[in-house]
Amino acid sequence: MEWKNLDTLKSFEKLQALKGKVDIAKELSGPDGAARVNRYLTPMAAGLCFSYAAKQVDDEVLAALEDLVKEQDLLGKYAALYNGERVNTGENRLVLHQLCRGQLGNDVIVDGVNKREFYVEQTKRCAEFAAKVHSGEIANEKGEKFTTVCQIGIGGSDLGPRALYIALENWARANGHLKLEAKFISNVDPDDASAVLMGLDAAHTLFIMVSKSGTTLETLTNGEFVMDALKKEGLDPSKHMIACTSETSPLAKSDAYLDAFFMDDYIGGRYSSSSVVGAAVLSLAFGGEVYQEILDGAAAEDLLAKNETLTENPDLLDALIGVYERSVEGYGTTAVLPYSQALSRFPAHLQQLDMESNGKSVNRFGEPVHYQTGPIIFGEPGTNGQHSFYQLLHQGTDIIPLQFIGFQNSQIGNDVTIEDSTSQQKLCANVAAQIMAFACGKKDENANKNFNGGRPSSIIIGEKLTPAALGALLAHFENKVMFQGFIWNLNSFDQEGVQLGKTLAKKVLSGNMDGALKAYSTLLGI
Residues involved in catalysis: 356, 387, 502
Q: Which stretch binds its own copies (CB under 8 A): 37-45, 255-263, 294-302, 472-480?
A: 37-45
* Angle, alpha carbons 97-99-104 (nearest 5°): 125
Query: For its own copies, which is the closer residue by CB, 295 or 459?
Result: 459
Question: Is residue 431 part of the contact set for its own copies (CB under 8 A)?
Answer: yes
Least CB distance to its own copies at residue 3 (A): 14
**Number of Cβ atoms within 10 Å of the Cβ of 469:** 25
Query: For its own copies, which is the closer residue by CB, 82 or 488?
Result: 488
- Please pick, from the candidates 17, 109, 113, 504, the single residue that binds its own copies as defined by CB under 8 A: 504
Type of residue at 69: V
Residue numbers 450-489 binding its own copies by CB under 8 A = 450-452, 459, 461, 463
- Please pick, from the candidates 47, 90, 250, 454, the single residue that binds its own copies as defined by CB under 8 A: 90
Question: Is residue 428 part of the contact set for its own copies (CB under 8 A)?
Answer: yes
Total binding residues for its own copies by CB under 8 A?
161
d(CA 278, CA 296): 14
Peptide bond into 383 cis (omega under 30): yes
Question: Is residue 200 part of the contact set for its own copies (CB under 8 A)?
Answer: no
In the chain, the largest separation of any two C-alpha atoms, in whole Å, equals 74
The answer to whether 96 touches 102, Cβ cutoff 8 Å, is no
Residue numbers 132-191 binding its own copies by CB under 8 A = 154-156, 158-159, 169-170, 173-174, 186-191
Question: Is residue 442 part of the contact set for its own copies (CB under 8 A)?
Answer: yes
β-bridge partners, 368 = 362
d(CA 140, CA 194): 22
The answer to whether 202 touches 144, Cβ cutoff 8 Å, is no
Residue numbers 280-319 binding its own copies by CB under 8 A = none
Residue numbers 330-389 binding its own copies by CB under 8 A = 332-333, 339-342, 348, 351-352, 355-356, 358-362, 366-369, 371-374, 376-378, 380-384, 386-389
Least CB distance to its own copies at residue 5 (A): 13
DSSP3 helix / strand / coil % (the chain, rounded to 5): 50, 15, 35
- Please pick, from the candidates 1, 111, 112, 499, the single residue that binds its own copies as defined by CB under 8 A: 499
Residue numbers 233-272 binding its own copies by CB under 8 A = 269-270
d(CA 38, CA 25): 16
Q: Which residues, including other chains, have CB under 8 Å from residue 198's CB and lie 6 or more apart?
A: none
The answer to whether 354 touches 377, Cβ cutoff 8 Å, is yes
Query: For its own copies, which is the closer residue by CB, 136 or 396?
Result: 396
Mutual orientation of helices 288-304 and 314-323 as an angle, nearest 10°? 60
Query: For its own copies, which is the closer residue by CB, 128 or 189?
Result: 189
